[in-house]
Amino acid sequence: MTGETESYTRRAVLGGVAGATAFATVPLLVRRAEATPETMKAAIHRVIGESPVRKGKVTLDIPPLVENGNTIAMSVAVDSPMTESDYVKAIHVFNEKNPQPDIISVHLGPRAGKAAFSTRIRLADSQNVVAIAELSDGSLWSDTAEVIVTIAACLEYN
Amino acid sequence: MARTLVNVPPKAKRGQVIEIKTLISHVMETGYRRNESGAPIPRDIINLFTCTYNGTEIFRADLHQAIAANPFISFFTVATQSGTLQFQWTDDNGQVETASAKITVE
């Protein structure tokens, strides 16, 4: 009787160890395909070149705390008169820790009337999201938002 | 390929800034997931969305894997003249889905 209890306990312990290993594997899988702040910087340079980016004019609206990383409402607005001589050419959005650093690039013109758009994005981890606006005069403006994600995207295995 | 939903105001005043909302049903498969047998599921996302107003492009978006499934995009344009707005989504397999909406400008 005592022996049986002991073996049961041992099995429970072994099961616990196996469970812990499975949990430990998940962050490793995520890290393998993870972009880093460096890859985000590289992606930004690839898209907009080496020109200096100033803070301001751009408003990146994204919830600071999200439960589900699979769909996060995001909107970007740029303070611009949107006239023939002064308009927003493009808005690029990047992330730090998804497997790929790019999120979306939108191309606008003076006919947009208002330099803003909304979409829904995926985030694999808590991280910073950066929006950069490219104006018609060539200047670049940005805004950064920190997002905390409780359930990450890209983790579900069907 | 997919079902689409676009929302364009049917009537607008000339010069008015109108909001356009678009939605398409698409898995936006990232290429990072695996199926039951462990084989990677190939990437299949909509990578390009464009909107033209009477033939002139007014909005274009390059999408990446970080866009959620069933991509929703909303944006603005100035109502210049009555006519048609054409929407076009292109995915990794080259499949193209289109939608259109009419607008009357007074």
Q: Would an 8 Å CB–CB cutoff place A108 in contact with chain B?
A: yes
Q: How many CB pairs under 8 A join A and B?
A: 102
Name the closest residue on chain A to residue B17, using Cα atoms. Answer: A113
Domain segments of chain B: what residues? 4-25+43-105
Q: Decide if B47 contacts A105 (C-beta within 8 A).
A: no
- Pair (A46, A110) in one structural domain: yes
| Residue B55 with chain A: CB contacts under 8 Å | none
Q: Would an 8 Å CB–CB cutoff place A39 in contact with chain B?
A: no
Dihedral (CA of A155, B3, B9, B15) sign:
positive
CA distance B75 to chain A (A): 4
Nearest-angstrom CA–CA distance, A155 and B74: 28
Prediction ipTM score: 0.92
Q: Could you list the residue range(s) of the whole structural domain that residue A77 is in?
A: 35-151
> pLDDT in tens for each of the 158 residues of chain A?
444 445 556 665 555 545 544 444 444 444 445 677 888 888 998 888 888 999 999 999 999 999 999 999 999 999 999 999 999 999 999 999 999 999 999 999 999 999 999 999 999 999 999 999 999 999 999 999 999 999 877 665 43
- Pair (A135, A60) in one structural domain: yes
Structure tokens of A9? 């306990």
- Pair (A27, A87) in one structural domain: no
- Pair (A50, A3) in one structural domain: no
pTM score, whole prediction: 0.82
Name the residue among A154, A129, A157 with its Cα closest to residue A143: A129
Nearest-angstrom CA–CA distance, A78 and A31: 33
The answer to whether residue A157 is domain-embedded is: no
The answer to whether residue A158 is domain-embedded is: no
Domains in chain A, number: 2
- Pair (A90, A123) in one structural domain: yes
Nearest-angstrom CA–CA distance, B69 and B75: 18
- Pair (A27, A39) in one structural domain: no
CA distance B58 to chain A (A): 6
- Pair (A73, A27) in one structural domain: no
- Pair (A98, A113) in one structural domain: yes
- Pair (A2, A18) in one structural domain: yes
C-beta atoms of B61 and A120 within 8 A: no
> pLDDT in tens for each of the 106 residues of chain B?
579 999 999 999 999 999 999 999 999 999 988 888 989 999 999 999 999 999 999 999 999 999 999 999 999 999 999 999 999 999 999 999 999 999 999 9
- Pair (A78, A24) in one structural domain: no
Q: Would an 8 Å CB–CB cutoff place A118 in contact with chain B?
A: yes
For the segment A40-69, what is each residue's pLDDT rounded down to a tens digit? 888 998 888 888 999 999 999 999 999 999
- Pair (A44, A62) in one structural domain: yes
Asked if CATH classification 2.60.40.10 holds for the domain at B4-25+43-105, the reply, yes or no, is: yes
- Pair (A5, A76) in one structural domain: no
Residue B55 CA, chain-centre distance (Å), reads 16
- Other CB atoms within a 10 A radius of the CB of residue B88 amount to 16
| Residue B17 with chain A: CB contacts under 8 Å | 113-114
Residue B31 CA, chain-centre distance (Å), reads 21
| Residue B62 with chain A: CB contacts under 8 Å | 102, 104-106
Nearest-angstrom CA–CA distance, A51 and A65: 32
Which residues, at least 6 apart from A115, have a Cβ–Cβ distance to it below 8 Å? A77, A78, A79, A80, A82, A87, A88, A91, A108, A133
For the segment A69-80, what is each residue's pLDDT rounded down to a tens digit? 999 999 999 999
